[in-house]
Each structure stands twice: as C-alpha cells, then as structure tokens.
Chain A
C-alpha cells in the first residue's frame, strides 16, 4: 500500500515527482548561493531535506493586505509550488486553502495538535490589540489570542512582511487599532523577521528553506532579520551608487539626470538607510527593483518607515515630525521663539550689567 504524502520523506516525494537527486542538489545550491551561504551548504541542505519528513508550516494572516502572500506566490527560485508540494507541508493557510468556516478552524487545530513543538508558524500582518482585539478576529477569536495559542507549539516563528515584523502601516501614527508586531506579543520563541512591504519572494522562501533544512535560526541582525538578505543597504549595492559618489543627482523624476539614471538621493531615496536585498536579488525573477524603475527606495523593510517623514525628502533632511506643515515654517516658528527668549535674556543680562556698573561707580565716588 502506498504511503500517504505526509508520511513520505522529502526525497521520496521528489522521486515520485521525477526530480533526481542531482537536480535537487542543484536547486538547494542555487538557494544557498542566493543566501550568500558557502557552496557546500547546498549539498548538505539537500541531503538533510531528502531524509526529512516534510516540516509542517502554519500560515496565519492577521491585520494585512495580502500583499506579502501575493509576493510569496511570485517566488521563482524556489517556486511556491515546489516549496509547498515537495519541501514543506503547508497545513494551514486561509488564503490558499479550500476549506472555510468550521472546517478551516478544525484544520488549524488539527495542524497545531499533530505537529505540536515542530511546526513553523508564519505570521503575516500586525496584531491589533485595541478594543480587546476586536479589530481583527476570525472564527470568534481575536488575532492576538490565535497568535498566542499557535505560538505555544511552534518551533519558530517567521514574520513575513513589515506589518508582522515591525507593526508596519497599521502601527503608524495614530495607530488606531493598537497594532503591535509579533515580537511585542510573543517573547519565548525564536523569531525571524522577513521585513519588506512586501518582502522579496525569494527572501521569504529562502529563509523558510534554510530553517526547515538546517533546523537552525540563521544569523540575524539587531532587528531579527537574516543577515544573508539584510546585511547590506540598498545604497551599498545600488547600480546608481557611482553617480552618488560623483555628485550626479536627479533633481526631479523627469529631468536630464533622471533620464541619465543618476542617483535619486535628492528625490528622497531611502537606500542609504535601508537594509534589504532588492538591489541584488531584485524582483520578478531578477528583472528589476524600484530604483531601476526610476523611483527611490521607500525604506519599507525598516522599522517605522511610514512615520519617517516624506518619501520624497532627502536622507540628510531635518526630521521635523508630522507632515502637513512646511519645514521652513516650523524652523521659523522654532527659531523665532528661541530668538525671542534669547532677546529677553540678553536685555536682562545687559540690564544687570549696567546696574552693577552703576553701583560700582556710585560706591567709588568719594
């Protein structure tokens, strides 16, 4: 009697689909290379995966726009199909699954029960806590309760997108739903943040693949992002960087500089302060990335990117907080008030000085 697909190892699954050992090693080596891992990791990764049972993955969507999942479905290497059919067992995903209502809830409970302590929990979207969590609820349970329950049995949590990693747009001022990132709710599990709005698909699949093949959390930066993908800034790897060094900047989106592909620093590009792999892995199977299309980086993979002033203000600009009031006017208001206070102090100081002078002259009179 043939084994059910859940009981097969990844290697057996691959053989069923006619994928050779050599082909699988090539695929793993390509993934390892994309993650800047040593070449020998590819073979080790392939061997580990071939012998392993397909790890369970539970994908929960909270306060989000589904853009991250849309991005994930556009992964070219590895493709989402090869990932979920051959490498992992996607046991719950409310966007892809056919089940709905009670059946879907039952599927989630079953997935958690069957793989308790072993599954990878992927979170997409921020977690609203305002109004008792009522802003995002499914099956009568709030997102925050679902997260806490699902996190208990997770081997690790992968936060896909800036919303789950840092709160993203829902957390932006004034944060009406009391949104938080996963790290603010769950503190006792390994968490990997794959930020971006949305993240690069290959970065999501690459991170998942590395974790399920090695069972280890990759090297992370201070924001818990894999260093392999978030170790460099967009600016450091940007093909327009030489123009920055030469001082050649586009002044508007349709001027001579923009047509010549000069640096977009003056137009507010956040590349110098944004850590991501856009300039190297790129998008749509390595076709291009936003700067290549003529628009500056928005800094979407950084915490608080939505509240960092205008997307079109240069990096070296003063940060005057809330938008809506022109910066020069705020400067004038601030410096005007300070000058007025200084003038009062100046007049008072001169007055005291004159008084002392007058007294000393009076006392020196014979």
Chain B
C-alpha cells in the first residue's frame, strides 16, 4: 500500500469516523448544556424571541454601521478567503469527484486554471489574515495555539493541494497522497479546535439573539 492508497483508504476512513464522532459529540454536549432558568418576566412573546434570534444571525454577519471603518477591512478579508475556500473545495473537478465518490452526487466545476488563480489569491489572503492576527495587539492577545494550529492545518491543505495540481516537488501520486493526508489531519482536528465554528457560529448567534430579544434588546 503506497502513501496515496493509505491516505484515501484507511486514513480517510479513520478521519471521517473521528470527524463525525467529534462533531456529534461536541454539538450534543453543547446543545444539552443546562441554561440557567431566566426568572424574569419576558419583555416580549416567544415568537419575538425566536425572530430576534434569527435576525441576529443576519445582523451579526454584517459589519455594524458604527464600526464599519474599524472592522470593515477585517470582515472583507474574512469573507474573501472563506468564499475562496468554498470555491476551491466545492468547484474544483477532482474535489467534486472526491465528494461524489463519498456522497453519490456531482455537479459542474470551474476550469482548473481558474481554480488555480482562486487558490493562489486565497492563499495570499490567508497569509494576510495571519499577518493581521500577529500584528494587531488585541487579536494577538486573544489568540492561542488553537487559532494558529487551525490556520496552519488549513494552510497545509491549500499548499499541498496547489503543489499537487502544479506537480511541484514530487510525483503527482505522492503529492496527492500528502494532500489527502493533510485533509485527513484537518478532519481529525476539526471537531476539537476552532474550526468547529463552522457548526457553532449560527446556532450561538441565534441563541444569543433570542436571549437578548427575550429581555427586549436588539442585537
């Protein structure tokens, strides 16, 4: 069994199993946590709380008017590399075929050369994001190993992917093996690090919004 066979065979199986187990574990452990009962009388109806929660998901996904000058650039950076990542992951033909082999459905992809351009742009944005994190004193203070490792492992997947596509440094087979192995590593890390924000971000915003709406506050 060579590296590629190992990466997309047993290693991928273990990675998917760990990913599913970890995500289910953390979501349920989070969802079933006891929330202290709020003994205050609600300011509004339950319906208002729910709509307040849903509205918060939208409002917090966009820079606040008052702070747009200070946070706009950072949010634009964040949105850009997330869009780039989604485009590369979901619209590159070999990725579509990979996902198709797992889930049984495929869709149209973008030309490989366009994906290469998007990948390089996303990679550049990714470096800019790290630069911002280490140069901004507040962000640096808030960051820990989890942030840097999550950045590193996502970066590793992107770099090995570009190397495999461009045949840089080794044979396609070896590079593809390393790339898939890095994806396996990302899947294993995903549920236990801050990459889990992909699952937490919207429910946590909705919950905060609903709790605040119950108190009559908009967020």
Contacts and interface: CB of A to CB of B under 8 A. Distances in A.
Given A233-B171, A247-B113, A316-B97, A349 B8 contact: no
B173 A317 contact: no
A342 B28 contact: yes
Contacts of A316: 8, 94-95, 97-98, 101, 176
Contacts of A145: none
A233 B111 CA distance: 22
Nearest to A310: B101
A350 interface: yes
A249 interface: yes
Interface in A311-349: 313-321, 326-328, 331, 334-335, 337-343, 345-347, 349
B74 interface: no
A348 B28 CA distance: 9
Nearest to A314: B97
A272 B176 contact: yes
Contacts of A266: 93, 97
Name the interface size band of chain A. Answer: 35 or more
A353 B33 contact: yes
A345 B29 contact: yes
Interface string B80-104: 0000000000000111011011111
B168 interface: no
Most central of B16, B94, B95, B111 by chain A CB within 10 Å: B94
Interface residues of B, number: 48
Nearest to B97: A314
Contacts of B21: 338-339, 341-342, 345
A318 B24 CA distance: 22
B9 A319 contact: yes
Main secondary structure of the interface of A (DSSP, over half): helix
Contacts of B12: 318-319
Nearest to A354: B34
A247 B176 contact: no
B151 interface: no
A33 interface: no
Contacts of B31: 346, 350
A346 B196 CA distance: 15
B138 interface: no
Contacts of B109: 247
A71 interface: no
Given A247-B109, A272-B176, A317 B25 contact: no
Contacts of A340: 24
B109 to A, nearest CB: 6
Interface of A: 233, 235-236, 244-249, 265-266, 272-273, 303-304, 308, 313-321, 326-328, 331, 334-335, 337-343, 345-347, 349-351, 353-354, 357
Interface of B: 1-2, 4-5, 8-9, 12-13, 16-29, 31-34, 93-95, 97-98, 100-104, 109-115, 167, 171-173, 176
